[in-house]
């Protein structure tokens, strides 16, 4: 008899949607990210407690990261004249 408990891994899906701010993009996963709070970061140094935010700030055009229980919002710098690269963010998430 096998007494170990197997943990079933479910695939994580993430979809992107536009935000009211045209410089921002919202990413929504099918799993919870954090519990009972939301956090925002304006720099990689400020994001020391969040590996996810630190990774997102590695993109040179990221200005602001907001993490809630069920989504991440990323705002790009105004000086950047390009759309957010959704696939790169999804891989980071």
Query: What are 56-87's pLDDT values in tens digits?
Result: 999 888 999 999 999 999 998 886 565 555 55
Q: pTM higher than 0.85 for the full model? A: no
Name beta bridge partners: 62.
76
Quick one: pLDDT band at residue 51, thresholds 50, 70, 90? very high
The Cα 16–Cα 93 span in angstroms is 11
At 38 the pLDDT is 94
Contact 73, 24 (CB under 8 A): yes
Q: Domains in the chain, ordered, with CATH?
A: 14-92 (3.30.1370.70)
- Residues contacting 40, CB < 8 A, separation 6+: 64, 65, 66, 67
Categorize the per-residue pLDDT at 2 as very low, low, confident or very high, splitting at 50, 70 and 90: low
């Amino acid at each position: 008899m096998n007494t170990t408990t197997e943990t079933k891994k479910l695939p994580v899906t993430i979809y992107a949607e536009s935000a009211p701010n045209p410089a921002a993009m919202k990413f929504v996963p099918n799993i919870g990210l954090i519990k009972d709070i939301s956090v925002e970061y304006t720099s990689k140094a400020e994001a020391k407690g969040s590996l996810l935010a630190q990774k997102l700030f590695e993109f040179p055009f990221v200005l602001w990261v907001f993490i809630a229980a069920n989504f991440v919002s990323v705002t790009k710098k105004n000086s950047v004249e390009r759309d957010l690269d959704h696939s790169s963010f999804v891989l980071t998430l």
